[in-house]
Amino acid sequence: MTLHNDTALVLFSGGQDSTVCLAWALERFARVETVGFDYGQRHVIELDVRPRLRSALAAQKPDWQARLGDDHVIKLDALAAISDTALTRETTIEIAESGLPTTFVPGRNLIFFCFVGALAYRRGARHIVAGMCETDYSGYPDCRDDTVKAMQVALTLGLDKRVTLHTPLMWIDKADTFAMAEEIGGKPLLDLVIEDSHSCYLGDRSKRHDWGYGCGTCPACRLRAQGFAKFMSERKTT
Ligand code: ZN
């Protein structure tokens, strides 16, 4: 693996996808910083698991320890104030009339990218890594490849500085995300993703399944459980 002598900023929520993205970045960039957003999520568990995941990842390889830099948590209260969704309010998680789940925060990732772009400029980082995925997702339009590519162009023009957005998970499904974790860091990384990353929309960490903690029934848990089952069955056959 060629090491880029650059800084990368990783959008790091503490979920399965962003944890694998962080490991992916630590393999490739000389310096890696993480960015999290506090936008009034119903459950702050996501924000709680981040520091633990960061130190656990750094402890996996001396190179990763050396490369992992600062963590930035950006407070975005305004996002919760202007949106009415199941991630920020006690609304039921279901499919709304729009055909999108009520967990959809309109434009959330666009806003995230603008803030990360501003931070990247200040930190002299030319690379931004994010876990958006178009393969098995809930249909969020701001996770699509075209949206991300448009943001890369907008940021590069608007900052007058070349910014590259990397989305290593864009074309793989959840099963392959587990496989990618194992490929990058072997069983220790796979175990860490299962044990410490958090996906459940309800913030439930009281139930432990073979795929990790969660309520087991919300859309995020279902996606993770299905992905893990597929990963395990594919793993057995190879
Ligand atoms: Zn759940």
Distance from Cα 225 to the centre of ligand 1, integer Å: 10
What does the alpha-carbon distance between residue 8 and residue 116 come to, in Å, rounded to a whole number?
11
The reported pLDDT for the residue numbered 97 is 63
Distance from Cα 199 to the centre of ligand 1, integer Å: 7
Contact assessment for residue 147 and residue 183, using Cβ atoms and an 8 Å cutoff? no
Distance from Cα 204 to the centre of ligand 1, integer Å: 6
Q: How many residues does the chain have?
A: 238
Distance from Cα 16 to the centre of ligand 1, integer Å: 13
Distance from Cα 207 to the centre of ligand 1, integer Å: 10
Distance from Cα 9 to the centre of ligand 1, integer Å: 28
Distance from Cα 203 to the centre of ligand 1, integer Å: 7
Mean pLDDT of 165-177: 96
What does the alpha-carbon distance between residue 37 and residue 109 come to, in Å, rounded to a whole number?
11
Of 43-52, 90-99, 108-117, 178-187, the least confident: 90-99
Dihedral sign, CA of 153, 156, 160, 161?
negative
What is the pTM for the complete model shown? 0.91
In the predicted model, is pLDDT for residue 66 greater than 80? yes
Distance from Cα 159 to the centre of ligand 1, integer Å: 38
In the predicted model, is pLDDT for residue 101 greater than 60? no
Tokens at 156, concatenated: 């590069």
Band (pLDDT 50/70/90 cuts) for residue 43 is low
For residue 177, the number of C-alpha atoms closer than 13 Å in the C-beta half-sphere is 34
The reported pLDDT for the residue numbered 237 is 72
Of 30-34, 103-107, 165-169, 197-201, the least confident: 103-107
Distance from Cα 181 to the centre of ligand 1, integer Å: 21
Mean pLDDT of 205-222: 93
Contact assessment for residue 14 and residue 57, using Cβ atoms and an 8 Å cutoff? no
The reported pLDDT for the residue numbered 79 is 78
Q: For 6-28, how does the pLDDT look when each residue is reduced to its tens digit (9 = 90+)?
A: 999 999 999 999 999 999 999 99
Distance from Cα 192 to the centre of ligand 1, integer Å: 18
Distance from Cα 198 to the centre of ligand 1, integer Å: 9
Band (pLDDT 50/70/90 cuts) for residue 233 is very high
Distance from Cα 165 to the centre of ligand 1, integer Å: 29
Contact assessment for residue 36 and residue 73, using Cβ atoms and an 8 Å cutoff? yes
Distance from Cα 222 to the centre of ligand 1, integer Å: 7
The amino acid at residue 1 is M
Band (pLDDT 50/70/90 cuts) for residue 61 is very high
The reported pLDDT for the residue numbered 83 is 64
In the predicted model, is pLDDT for residue 95 greater than 70? no
DSSP the chain: -PPEEEEEEEE--SSHHHHHHHHHHHHHEEEEEEEEEES--S-THHHHHHHHHHHHHHTT-HHHHHHEEEEEEEE-HHHHHH---TTTSS---SB-TTSSBTT--TTHHHHHHHHHHHHHHHHT--EEE----SSSS---GGGSHHHHHHHHHHHHHHHTS--EEE-TTTT--HHHHHHHHHHHHHHHHHHHHHHH----TT---S-EETTEES-SSSHHHHHHHHHHHHHHHHHHH-
- pLDDT above 90 as % of the chain: 69
Distance from Cα 45 to the centre of ligand 1, integer Å: 12
Distance from Cα 134 to the centre of ligand 1, integer Å: 21
Distance from Cα 157 to the centre of ligand 1, integer Å: 39
Domain 4-237 class, CATH top level: alpha beta
Which comes out higher in pLDDT, residue 205 or 107?
Answer: 205
- Pairing type for strands 164-166 and 208-209 reads unpaired
Q: How far is CA 5 from CA 8, 27, 30, 57, in A?
A: 10, 12, 5, 20
Mean pLDDT of 22-40: 94
